[in-house]
Structure 1
Amino acid sequence: MPQCVVFRLTKGFAVTLLFTRAWRYRLRVLALSRYTRMGASSRMRLMQYNPWLESAGIDVEISPLFSDEYVLGLQHNRRHAGDIVRAYLARLQRLLQRGKFDLIWIEKEILPWLPAWVEFMLLSRRVPYVLDYDDAFFHLYDLHPRAVVRWLLAGKHPALMRKAALVIAGNNYLADFARKAGAGRVEIIPTVVDLDRYVNLRHNRSDKGPMPCIGWIGQRASAMNLMKYKEVFLRLSDEGRACFSAVGIDAQSLGLPMKSVEWREETEVENIADFDIGIMPLVDAPFERGKCGYKLIQYMACALPVVASPVGVNSDIVEHGINGFLADTAGEWERSLRMLLDDSELRHRMGLAGRQKVEREYCIQVTGPRLAALLKDAAKVNNIGK
C-alpha cells in the first residue's frame, strides 16, 4: 500500500517523503477453489481469470480443495472418505498462511458440510473475503430432506454472505438470494468463455456426414436432465433425422441414443464445434434455477443454434427465435429440433446471432477487467468483525 515516511531534519524542517508504490504494488489474493482444473466451475469462475488478473496487478495463488482423483471419482459416482479427510486437512494447513494475503477469494464455501462458525474461525479478521457462486449450493442445505441438516446448515451461506466484502453471483437468482441474506455488496458476473479458444472452429458437421448432429456437454450429475426428453431423442434417431453426441458422460449406460465422447479440456471446444445444434434441457427446480447456462454459452461461442428449457438464466441467454428456441414440453422440444434439422440456413442464422451475443456479454474479454476492479475494491472492505 502507499506508505508515508517522515524525516526530521536539524533545522526543524519536516520533509515528508511519500513513496507511492501503487504503480508497483500488487494485490495478493488466495483463491480457495473447490476443484482443480478438472472441475468446470473452478476452472471457469476462478482459474481462467489468472492472466487477466495478473496483468491488472493482482497475484492469485489458487488452492483447490479436492484433487483430480476426487473429481474423477465424482464422475464415476465414487467417493472415498480418506480423500475428503486429506482434502480438509490440507485446506486447514493452507489457511494457516492466510495472513500473507490481502484478500481471500472463496468458491462458495471453505469446508462443505461444516457450519459457518467453523469457517469464521479459520478466516482472519484482518483479511477480507469474496464469495463466488455459480450454482445454488445453499439449497443443498436449506432444502435438504433431513431436518438436522437444515437446522445445522441452512443458515451457513447467508451468514457467510453477510460478512463478505463482496458476493459475486453468476446470475440474478443467486444474486437475489445473496441480497435477501443481507450481503453488503452483490455483483453479477456470468460464467463466460475465452474467445481466444473459440476461433475459426465452426465447421458444419452435416456437410461431412449423412445427417446433422445434436449435441450436449456436461457431467453425470446433470445428465439426468436429458432423460425428460429421451423419447424425443430416440424418435429422431430412429427416423434417421439426426445423430446425437454427448461429451463427458457414458450415454449408453443411461439408454440414450448418443455417441459418448470423453471430455478433455484440450478437445472440448473442438468436440462442441462438431455439433450442429446444442441442447440444454433442465428440470424446473430450485437448484437448476441457480445454474449459469455455461453449456449454452459454449454452444453459442461455436456459432451453434440452441434449444433449451426456459428455466433460470436460460431464458436470458436464449432469445427465442433469434439465437435458438426455448422449449418446455416434449412436443415443443420435438418441434424446435425438427425446425432446425430441416433448415440449415436457420441453423446458420441463429448460430451467428448466438456468437454475436457471446462476444457482447459472455466472454472473458468483457468480464476480465470488471472482475479485476471488483477484487481491488473488495480488498479495501472488511466486514468480518461486524
Structure 2
Amino acid sequence: MPQKKKILIRIGSLRHGGAEKVVVNFLKNLPKDKYEVDLLINLYTGMYIKEVPSWVNLRYLLKGEMITTNKPHEIPVKAFRVLYQKMFLWFPSLLYKFVLKNKKYDVEIGAIHGMYRELLSSPQKDSKKIIWIQNDIFNLKEYTPDVIRQLFRFDRILVISNKLKEEMQKVSQNDREKKAVVKIFNPIDKKDTLNKANTPIDDYPFSNDLPTFITIGTVYPQKGYDRLLDVHKKLINEGLKHQIIIIGDGFEFEKTQTKLNQLGLQDTVKMLGFRSNPYPYLKKADFYVMSSRHEGFPTIIAEALILNKPVVSTDVSGIKDLLQDGQLGLITPNSEEGIYEGMKKFLSEKELSARYENEIKTADLPFVLEKSVAHLQDIIDEL
C-alpha cells in the first residue's frame, strides 16, 4: 500500500465565503485513503466547520466569533488575536511544534492568497508549497509588485481565471515561474445547490410578479451595491419597473440601507441580511445581477447558472470564463453606465432571458465538482 501524502491546508476561518466553501467542497471529495490532511484555521468559527469531513484533522489557533466591527469593547480582543497570530508568523517553529505536533508534511497549501506569508515562513523547507489565489490581487493595493514577486517562491500558484493566469505569467521571469501558474476552476457541487434551492421559504420579500433581480454577497465596497442602487433608481425613473433583492451582511450594510432609504427605494429594494441558504431566493428571482468593482472567481455566478438564471455582470476577473465570453450571460463594462445598460437590456428585450436560459441548459459547465477535484489531485500528485 503506497504511503498517504501528508497535506497541511491553511485558511483564516470557515465563515461564509467563496474560498471557505471551496476548501470544504474539495475536502468532502478527496479520497481519504490517498491523503492524510490537517486543516489549520486561524479562528475556529464559521458555518462550514460542521461540513469538514471527520477524517480531516482540524486544528486551530484561536476560538471565537469573527469580529467585523470596531466597537470599543471589541478592540482589545481584536488586538490580542492579531498579536497571537503574528507570534506564530514570527516564530513559526512554535506553531509546528505545539499546534501541529511536529508532523512532517509533503505538501503545504495556502487556501487563500492572504496566507502566503504563513506558508513561506514554514520551517519545513522540503515540503512542496501551493498558494491559491482566490481574488484579483492586481486590484488589491497591498499586493505590490514586490509582494507578487514573493508568490513565485511557491511550487504552484493556483489561479481561478484566465485573466489572472495571464497577469501572473506576464510578471513571471522565467519558464519555471511561468509553469508554476496553473488555472483551476473552483468546484461547485451542482447536486447540493439544486437540493438547497428546493428548500421552502416563507419570507420571500415580494408578492407581485415584477421582474426581480437578485444579488448575493458580503456588503463591502467591492460589491458595488452603491452603484446598483443608483442604476435601479434611474431605471425606475425611466418607467422600467423592477425589483431587487440583496442578500448578505458586512460592514457597509447600514450605509447601504441608509442610501436605499434616502433614494426612497424601500418598496422596490429589499436587503435581507445574511442567509446561510440563499438558493431558494435565487431560484425564485428572474435574473442575477453582479455590480462588483472586482472579484476573484465569483462562485455565486456558477450557482446562478446551475439554477438556470440569466446573468448580467460587470467585467470582473473570472466572469469571462464563467459566462463563456458572453455566451451564457451579459458582460457589461465595469461602470455604473455598464450596469445600467445591462439591466435595461434585460428589462426591455423580453426574449433575451429565454435565449440565455437555452444556452445555459445545453452548456458544458467546466466548474462541476468532479472535474475540479480531479484537477487538484493531479496538481498535488505531480509535485
TM-score range, shorter chain: 0.7 to 0.9
1:34 to partner: Cα distance: 2.6
Q: 1:207 to 1:63 in 2, by over 3 A?
A: same
Code of the residue aligned with 1:307 in structure 2: it is V
1:88 to partner: Cα distance: 4.0
**Which of 277, 297, 302 is the matching residue for 1:297?**
302
Does residue 81 of structure 2 align to residue 73 of structure 1?
Answer: no
**Which of 181, 186, 190 is the matching residue for 2:185?**
190
**Unpaired stretches in structure 1, ≥5 consecutive residues:** 1-20, 144-153, 379-386
Distance 2:229 2:96 in 1: 46
Give the match for residue 161 of structure 2: 171
Q: 1:229 to 1:306 in 2, by over 3 A?
A: same
1:367 to partner: Cα distance: 0.8
- Partners of 1:134 and 1:291 within 8 A in 2: yes
Q: 1:101 to 1:324 in 2, by over 3 A?
A: same
Give the match for residue 155 of structure 1: 146
- SS across alignment from 1:360: coil
Q: 1:142 to 1:323 in 2, by over 3 A?
A: closer
- SS across alignment from 1:100: coil
1:282 to partner: Cα distance: 3.2
Is the deviation greater in 218-227 or in 163-172? 218-227
Give the match for residue 334 of structure 1: 340
Give the match for residue 29 of structure 1: 7
Code of the residue aligned with 1:361 in structure 2: it is P
**Which of 370, 373, 376 is the matching residue for 1:368?**
373
Distance 2:285 2:228 in 1: 18
Code of the residue aligned with 2:149 in structure 1: it is P
1:108 to partner: Cα distance: 4.0
Give the match for residue 124 of structure 2: 124
What is the CA deviation profile of residues 232-273 of structure 1, one whole-angstrom value per residue up to 9, with x for unaligned ones?
2124456472111111033413427431223243x1222322
- Partners of 1:53 and 1:59 within 8 A in 2: no
- SS across alignment from 1:164: coil
Give the match for residue 227 of structure 2: 228
Does residue 290 of structure 2 align to residue 280 of structure 1?
Answer: yes
Give the match for residue 346 of structure 1: 352
What is the CA deviation profile of residues 314-351 of structure 1, one whole-angstrom value per residue up to 9, with x for unaligned ones?
23333566422122254553343234235665324413
- Partners of 2:10 and 2:41 within 8 A in 1: yes
Distance 2:33 2:235 in 1: 50
Code of the residue aligned with 1:263 in structure 2: it is F
CA RMSD of aligned residues (A): 3.4
Is the deviation greater in 98-107 or in 243-252? 98-107
Code of the residue aligned with 2:108 in structure 1: it is I
Does residue 51 of structure 2 align to residue 53 of structure 1?
Answer: no
Give the match for residue 57 of structure 2: none
Code of the residue aligned with 1:259 in structure 2: it is K
Q: 1:360 to 1:38 in 2, by over 3 A?
A: closer
What is the CA deviation profile of residues 147-180 of structure 1, one whole-angstrom value per residue up to 9, with x for unaligned ones?
xxxxxxx523422x33322111111333234433
1:32 to partner: Cα distance: 0.5
1:302 to partner: Cα distance: 1.5
1:364 to partner: Cα distance: 1.5
Trace 1:86-101 onto structure 2 (pairs within 5 A): 86-89=84-87, 92=92, 93-96=94-97, 97=100, 99-101=103-105
The TM-score normalised by the length of structure 1 is 0.73
Give the match for residue 10 of structure 1: none
- SS across alignment from 2:20: helix
* Number of equivalenced pairs: 331
- Partners of 1:247 and 1:261 within 8 A in 2: yes
What is the CA deviation profile of residues 26-46 of structure 1, one whole-angstrom value per residue up to 9, with x for unaligned ones?
2221101132143332222x2
- Partners of 1:237 and 1:244 within 8 A in 2: no
Q: 1:356 to 1:66 in 2, by over 3 A?
A: farther
Give the match for residue 212 of structure 2: 213
- Partners of 1:38 and 1:68 within 8 A in 2: no
**Unpaired stretches in structure 2, ≥5 consecutive residues:** 47-63
Code of the residue aligned with 1:26 in structure 2: it is K
Code of the residue aligned with 1:102 in structure 2: it is D
What is the CA deviation profile of residues 111-169 of structure 1, one whole-angstrom value per residue up to 9, with x for unaligned ones?
57xxx5x75443311211111111134743344xxxxxxxxxx523422x333221111
**Which of 100, 106, 112 is the matching residue for 2:110?**
106
1:197 to partner: Cα distance: 1.5
Is the deviation greater in 225-234 or in 163-172? 225-234
Code of the residue aligned with 1:130 in structure 2: it is I
- SS across alignment from 2:185: coil
Larger radius of gyration: 1
Give the match for residue 148 of structure 1: none
What is the CA deviation profile of residues 177-202 of structure 1, one whole-angstrom value per residue up to 9, with x for unaligned ones?
44334535221012332111222648
Q: 1:170 to 1:243 in 2, by over 3 A?
A: same
Code of the residue aligned with 1:353 in structure 2: it is E
